[in-house]
Structure 1
Amino acid sequence: MRHLLVAAGLMTAMAAATVAAADTPVLTVYTYDSFVSDWGPGPAVEKVFEQDCGCDLKFVAAGDGAALLARLKLEGARTEADVVLGLDTSLTATAAETGLFASHGRSPVVDVPNPVGEPGAWGDPLFLPYDWGYFAFVHDRVKLPNPPKSFEELVESDVSIVIQDPRSSTPGLGLMLWVKALYGDKADTIWEGLSDNIVTVTPGWSEAYGLFLEGEADMVLSYTTSPAYHLIAEEDDSKAAAVFPQHYMQIEVAGKLAASDQPELADQFLGFMLSEAFQSLIPTTNWMYPAITPAAGLPDGFTAPVAPDQAVLLPPEDVAELRDEALAEWRAALSK
């Protein structure tokens, strides 16, 4: 009889757990691979948010940033995503045209030095920023003590580089726009010159940076903040960002899907994303500048090598007009 009572008790407990799990709402957030890695912000964000939301926060890694938008276009209104985190302002105009996103209803004041608008003001009704940074070529200062200091110097050098595909990767798209913004109609000439320096083109940032760390190339397209990771997490000061006259900015954003079946939870998450709890995680997990500077400030390793007046950023609507032309130039040069 005792065994029967124990078995009955276990079955009751299991049934209760199943009911509780079924009653727990799930918030699905599509994001890029590195965000949910063991060293990325995803695990900590999930732990902190779930303490207050009474929900199950489910991150789904979907490649790199540009791949997120491609997946959403494919899934359409049938997508399981409630929130997408990992697009940037190079993609927001195209993302808005899909009609898949809903207004966030917020007007936050952020610490993003926006070259194409009033610093601090954020007016995009569909997408909210959570971090930002400057693209740069990262190198090992021991192996390459005198890196190129401009695209022209890079073209003239025999320095090898790894870059990302602009069709799937936001850093790859950022590089393509960086070249287009600086050189305009002569961008194809720069790409033709760079084609000899490029070792390979990877789908996303993680693959490219891994190849660089394995010694497959002298430099990799990354961020001015990437050396801070090595300095703070590994106590390794051998990595540096090559400083060019101008650097393209990236502002990463998140948005709520109009078809979400958890709109209130999605709104709660977007609010949490701009909170001290979330923003304080960004510098030493996503290794970017937070959209809102934490009360404790930034780690010492985040001294900016690039001044705000060196920043380049095309407005989202200009990107939508230039992207096809820039991509055609990129593909033509790299196919020769």
Structure 2
Amino acid sequence: MKYLAFAAGLVGASAALAETPQLTVYTYDSFVSDWGPGPQIEKAFETECGCDLKFVGMGDGAALLARLKLEGARSEADVVLGLDTSLIAAAKETGLFAGSDVEADYTLPIEWRDDVFAPYDWGYFAFVHDKDLQAPGNFRALAESDLKIVIQDPRSSTPGLGLLMWVKAAYGDEAETIWQGLANNVVTVTKGWSEAYGLFLEGEADMVLSYTTSPAYHLIAEEDDSKTAAAFDEGHYLQVEVVGKLAGSDQPDLADRFIAFMVSDTAQSILPTTNWMYPAVMPEAGLPSGFDTLIAPEKALLLPNEDIPTVRDEALQEWLGALSQ
């Protein structure tokens, strides 16, 4: 009888497990790291939804889109979290995303209007360095210096692509000349942000392509105020990270609930000190202490989404040509 009761218990547990809906979210590696927002977001959302939230990390933001293009309508993903303003147009061209009607009181530096993607955080690209470094004030000065920098590959990384857009937005037709000047400063090009930042922390470069908010991590999490971001007088390129639902999702309602959760006060309060970006919706408690010490770019640069595919192709060829010489 004990064996029968035990077997019945297993059947009951299996049935309960089978009834638990699963939501699969593709995202970038740093989001699901132990120190990233993934673990806290997963715990908070599962408490609310009674579901199994499964994060799948795969490289950086640009790698996400490449994976989706490869999988097509066969993708197991219900939601993709981690594309950004430089990839929105290309993502929509795939026809893989469904509309989203999530509304929120966004506190972005730009007006947000998009019926497919919802923003969850934002920041400015910048070169991070030690405070004792005499940092350049623009790309021309950086190119004229002997400083060594680590950057990310624009074909796999959203910061890497953001850097191409930054140079293009600031210099237009002169971008190729800027890259020719910067080529000697580049120590290496990494696949993603984590690798690049790690090399910088190991002392392999003087500066690393990251965000104006990156020093907040060292200040708040490590009580280390030795890092800062260089303020460039051309302005800094804006990145808005977004979340979207796949048209082929077999959990469309749950996907909508997750997207709405990502702009809720619960999730937005988690992001500043785990993803180290500005929240898309200001939390009721405001920003954590330490964010007030960050540089504030005087000029925000952002190319129109519809122009980026064309600009990207041109900028990528300029970048490849300069770094291959």
TM-score (norm 2): 0.97
Residue 332 of structure 1 aligns to a residue in which SS? helix
Correspondence 1:207 to 2:195: yes
Residue of 237, 246, 257 corresponding to 1:248: 237
Query: 2:127, 2:208 within 8 Å by CA — same for their partners in 1?
Result: yes
Mapped partners of 2:81, 2:258: distance in 1: 11
Task: Please tell me whether residue 299 in structure 1 is matched to residue 288 in structure 2.
Answer: yes
Q: Which residue of 1 aligns with 2:44?
A: 48
Aligned 1:65-84 pairs, distance under 5 A: 65-84=61-80
- SS of the aligned residue for 2:290 comes to helix
**1:112-147 deviations in whole A, cap 9, x for unaligned?**
001xxxx3xx211110000000000001123x2x11
Report deviation, 1:9. Answer: 2.8
How far off is 1:90 after superposition? 0.5
Q: Which moved more, 1:100-109 or 1:165-174?
A: 100-109
Match of 2:214 in 1: 226
Structure 2 partner of 1:163: 151
Q: Distance in 1 between matches of 2:12 and 2:178?
A: 64
User: CA contact under 8 A between 2:104 and 2:281: conserved in structure 1?
Assistant: no
Q: CA deviation at 1:109?
A: 2.9
Q: Which residue of 2 aligns with 1:17?
A: 13
Aligned-pair CA distance for 1:177: 0.5
Do 2:121 and 2:240's aligned partners in 1 also have CA atoms closer than 8 Å?
yes
In the alignment, which residue of structure 1 is the partner of 2:58? 62
Q: Which residue of 1 aligns with 2:248?
A: 259
What CA distance in whole angstroms lies between the structure 1 residues aligned with 2:117 and 2:63?
17
Q: What is the SS of the residue equivalent to 1:196?
A: helix
> For 1:235, what is the secondary structure of its paired residue?
coil
In structure 2, distance between residues paired with 1:102 and 1:203: 29
Instruction: Provide the secondary structure at the position in 2 that maps to 1:283.
Output: helix
SS at match of 2:184: coil
CA contact (8 A) 1:247 1:306 kept: no
Aligned counterpart in structure 2 of residue 287 of structure 1, from 276, 279, 291: 276
- Sequence identity percentage: 68
Partners of 1:232 and 1:93 in 2: how far apart?
A: 35
Q: Where do 5+ consecutive residues of structure 1 fail to align?
A: none
Q: CA RMSD in A?
A: 1.0
* Over 6 Å off, 4+ runs: none
Contact 1:283 1:289 in 2 (8 A): yes
Aligned 8 A contact 1:82 1:263 in 2: yes
Aligned to 2:260: 271
TM-score, normalised on structure 1? Answer: 0.94
CA displacement, residues 308-327 of structure 1 (integer Å, 9 cap, x when unaligned): x4110111111122110000
Aligned residue pairs total 323
**Residues in 2 aligned to 1:38 and 1:322: alpha-carbon distance in whole angstroms:** 36
1:145-181 superposed Cα distances (whole Å, 9 cap, x missing partner): x111110110011100000000000000000100011
1:134 to 111, 118, 124: 124
SS in 2 for 1:280: helix
User: What is the match of residue 335 of structure 1?
Assistant: 324
- Partner amino acid, structure 2, of 1:209: Y
Match of 2:226 among 231, 235, 238: 238
The one-letter amino acid of 1:241's match is A
State the secondary structure of the residue aligned to 2:232: coil
CA distance in 1, matches of 2:29, 2:103: 29
- 1:89 and 2:79 aligned: no
Cα distance in 2 between the residues matched to 1:302 and 1:315: 28
Contact 2:216/2:291 (8 A) holds in 1: yes
Structure 1 counterpart of 2:139? 151
**Structure 2: tracts of 5 or more residues without a match:** none
8 A Cα contact 1:107 1:123, kept in partner? no
